[in-house]
Amino acid sequence: MKKKQVSIIGVPMDLGQTRRGVDMGPSAIRYGGLYERLTDLGYTVHDKGDITVDILENAEQSGTSNLKNLESVTEASECLAKKIEQIITDGHFPLVLGGDHSIALGTLAGVAKKHKNLGVIWYDAHGDLNTPDTSPSGNIHGMPLAASIGIGHSALINIGGFSPKVKPEHVVIIGARDLDAGERKLIKEKGIKVYTMHEIDRLGMSAVMRKTIDYLRERTEFVHLSLDLDGLDPTEAPGVGTPVAGGLSYRESHLAMEMLEESSIITSAEFVEVNPILDEKNKTGAAAVALIASLLGEKLL
């Protein structure tokens, strides 16, 4: 029998925001035992190592307004997109380790090039739907979802040479609890499906995931999971740069991964924003590993 193949790619990116240390996220997740966890599940694991990313000291500053480190972020994104394309061509499951959430620009460019009719699950405390005009910070990690639906600065929109990567009505955001004014406006205008913490509290994670899976099954053929560890509550995932109180529990997050695994809809995934400098004994890195394992089939019994 042919074994299932997973290709891992690390993106040591910290230029999409300003808290240093998130570039060490891929190492922290690997250190948490990822390779062994996946081989134990029966996967053949190809760790392709890390993408080359500029360090802050050498990042070019063109001063493009409200877009910090734009050149270095787009350069790494183009490189990541090509690697992802190759992984999908090889028939492997792409698993991307971040790095701040700006890396989704490259991941989605690569995935969308190969997979038409793509859906995206954005598991996050934030919407990451800002543009340079609406961003309160100028941090690109707050913009990748907007850029992927074709809104924002042309340099971000056109990674991979095409736009959009995904239709707004094929996006589901889960866990949101810190949305900026411009993001709320965009959500309403574009009809993006969002399960905020309010809906998750009311309906429960099980119903939310059932609805999410049905919604994307009806509309798309492939689904990318972009999981920001700050979607979890900071007590359970303290190693993130932009923590927001009142988040998803460790168990709710596992249930979400288990239901996605059962549904077989996920065709690529990324786990981002793990910052070991801000973490407590790699708690957040270990949580990432455990969630990846659940997503890829690890069972409690």
Ligand X SMILES: NC(=[NH2+])NCCC[C@H](N)C(=O)O
Which residue is listed with tokens 């709710």? 252
Query: Residue 228 annotated as binding?
Result: yes
Q: Which is nearer to ligand X, 145 or 289 (CB)?
A: 145
Catalytic (active site) residue 46: no
Query: Residue 230 annotated as binding?
Result: yes
Task: Find the catalytic residue in 115, 141, 153, 254.
Answer: 141
- Residue 110 class from Cβ within 10 Å (0-12 exposed, 13-18 middle, 19+ buried)? buried
**Interface with Mn ion, residue 76, by CB under 5 A:** no
**Interface with Mn ion, residue 124, by CB under 5 A:** yes
Which tokens go with 284? 């957040």
Interface with Mn ion (CB under 5 A), residue total: 7
Neighbours of 153 (CB within 10 A): 20
Q: Which is nearer to Mn ion, 101 or 165 (CB)?
A: 101
Segment 222-261, which members bind Mn ion (CB under 5 A)? 228, 230
**Interface with Mn ion, residue 126, by CB under 5 A:** yes
Task: Find the catalytic residue in 92, 101, 115, 153.
Answer: 101
Which stretches of the chain bind ligand X, using CB under 6 A? 101, 126, 128, 130, 135-137, 139, 141-142, 180, 228, 230, 242, 273
- Those residues whose C-beta lies under 8 Å from the C-beta of residue 281, and which sit 6 or more positions away, are none
Query: Residue 101 annotated as binding?
Result: yes
Catalytic (active site) residue 252: no
- Those residues whose C-beta lies under 8 Å from the C-beta of residue 160, and which sit 6 or more positions away, are 78, 81, 106, 109, 110, 112, 113
Catalytic (active site) residue 230: yes
Query: Residue 126 annotated as binding?
Result: yes
Query: Residue 178 annotated as binding?
Result: no
Instruction: Supply angle C-alpha 14, 17, 18, rounded to 5.
Output: 90
Catalytic (active site) residue 228: yes
CA-CA distance, 18 to 79, in Å (whole number)? 22
Residues 239-254 as b/e (b if ≥16 CB within 10 A, e otherwise) read bbbbbbeebbebebbb
Residues tagged active-site: 101, 124, 126, 128, 141, 228, 230, 273
Binding residues for Mn(2+): 101, 124, 126, 128, 228, 230
